[in-house]
Amino acid sequence: MNKNANDAAQQFVPVVMCGGSGTRLWPLSRQALPKQFVPLVDGKSLLQLTLERARLLGSKTTIVASEEHRFLVQESVNTALTQASILLEPVARNTAAAMAVAALNAQPDALLVFLPADHHIPDGKAFNATIRGGVAAARAGSIVTFGVQPTYPSTAYGYIQQGKEVPGQDGAFGVQCFIEKPNAARAQELLLAGGNYWNAGIFLCEARTLIAALSTYASDILAACQAAVAQQTVDGEFIRLDEPSFAQCRSESIDYAVMEKAAQSAQVVVIPFASAWSDVGSWNAVAELSEADGAGNRVHGQGYTVDAKDTYIHAPHRPVVALGTHNLLIIDTADALLVAEVGHAEQVKAVVAQLDAKGVPQARHHRRVARPWGAYDSVDSGPRFQVKRIVVNPGATLSLQMHHHRAEHWIVVSGTAEVTNGEQVLLLTENQSTYIPLGQVHRLANPGKVPLEIIEVQSGSYLGEDDIVRLEDTYGRVK
């Protein structure tokens, strides 16, 4: 690489797009905790692994994420030991809008590397080298996409058909066309023909190049995003887009809004990526992250196979036994169980939509719910009562709040609790407790150095999470 290209490579701005819902990995991935936040690979989440790869390209990452997931994103940033600016989308508007607001928040000549948050790429060095190989093409005004060399005829991915090599762009090829997810026969044809790559949804370009392409092919999306950025506000590491403006934006993927049209004008090029890659888009893909035994079985957690073949078990909480099974996926969580034949893995998303339409709460939420201060687990519930296990991180504080319809009883299991109970401020330790009457102003904090664990027993006529009146809050949730 020449000196100018090397200097340019130092100006990468990784942009991690973190808005996916990952419902094909239900019941582990749900709307409140999508797959990018779930520890799936060696105890790490896909977002953490993506941030670690991004750190190879630039010292500070831009993340585009949902307002709902802002504290999960911040926790991932801290765990990955990196720095990031977090752009918060008030509503979901797909990848074209996400990429637009990132480009509008960057310097015009910044080299933006757009990375989905939920991909698994084991060889970070190979990935880093491939991205850096696209600098010349990006500096020449092209939008660079990276096509993954297919290893089997997948029907789960779209394809990129390679054209002729582009002179002066260091091994970049023109794009003849983007191909929709094919059926099995067509996928086999594409694989045998060669020159066709899986579309990984990873892009490299200058910020001004993307803005110009949006202006040409999706001017309405660009205009809405410009308005949202013009009135955005900054809150620490969070950048909040203007909600009324962003809500007016059309929801469309970058492929449809820009890439397919720009490819026809030779503005999009592809660089092959030959290393391992997965979008971890189905339970079959998750299963492939584990080694199979001699019978083709793969097990995560407390799974046991007896006379079983080609069966995957995900059982982190309790023993799950597969006896005499064949070609099954068994996914066990604390509050929902999925049993599916491997050929139906792509239909999980449709099943979740059916559950959601019927009002099944497990379609959207886990029993364990992450909060900016820690988490709570709904252990038991019935008419007029609910029991929760609450864990508060060291130094964290819940909001000063009250409830109209319920009273609460707190028992400290471990750690030290600082409790505001009306006019009293109490310091409680293991096996000590306090009672909070209905309507009483109260607050819970962990002043210690270790996690605080308490059992909360709620009683009353209504126990929903929306019966919380926040008077003060460290995390800006008072409305």
Cα–Cα separations (whole angstroms), residue 361 to 97, 122, 303, 382: 29, 35, 26, 15
121 and 195 belong to one structural domain: yes
> How would residue 8 be classed by pLDDT, with cut points 50, 70 and 90?
very low
On the question of pLDDT at 475 being above 90, the answer is: no
Model pTM score: 0.86
Please tell me whether residues 121 and 144 are part of one structural domain: yes
Task: Tell whether 220 and 323 lie within a shared domain.
Answer: no
Distance CA 60, CA 57 (A): 9
The answer to whether residues 210 and 321 belong to one domain is no
Split at pLDDT 50, 70, 90, the class of 230 is very high
Sheet of 337-341, strand order = 298-306, 312-323, 328-332, 337-341
Count CB-CB contacts under 10 A for residue 244.
10
Residue 477 counted as domain residue: no
Q: For residues 17 and 158, state if they share a domain.
A: yes
Residues 314 and 384 in one domain: no
**397, 298: one domain:** no
What domain range is 201 assigned to? 3-273
Looking at the structure, do residues 255 and 343 belong to the same domain, yes or no?
no
Is residue 239 domain-resident?
yes
Residue 410 and residue 447 in contact, taking contact as beta carbons nearer than 8 Å: no
Q: How confident is the model at residue 4 (pLDDT cuts 50, 70, 90)?
A: very low
Q: Which of 273, 299, 322 is the last residue of a domain?
A: 273
Same domain, 210 and 319: no
Asked whether residue 448 is assigned to any structural domain, the reply reads yes
Among the three residues 304, 336, 357, which one is the final residue of a domain in this structure? Answer: 357
pLDDT surpassing 50 at residue 348: yes
Q: What is the mean pLDDT of the chain?
A: 92
- Asked which of 357, 385, 413 is the last residue of a domain, the reply is 357
pLDDT at 478 over 70: no
In a domain, 278, yes or no: no
User: How many structural domains compose the chain?
Assistant: 3
Residue 161 lies in a domain: yes
Assess whether pLDDT exceeds 90 at residue 32.
Answer: no
Indicate whether 198 and 318 sit together in one domain.
Answer: no
Q: What CATH number corresponds to the domain at position 429?
A: 2.60.120.10
Nearest to 419, CA basis, from 390, 398, 395, 394: 398
Q: Would 430 be classed as within a structural domain?
A: yes
Determine, yes or no, domain membership for 478.
no
Same domain for 160 and 253 = yes
| The most confident of 30-39, 202-211, 269-278, by mean pLDDT | 202-211
Amino acid (1-letter code) at residue 176: Q
The per-residue pLDDT for 479 is: 52
Residue 479 lies inside a defined structural domain of this protein? no
Domain match, 77 and 192 both:
yes
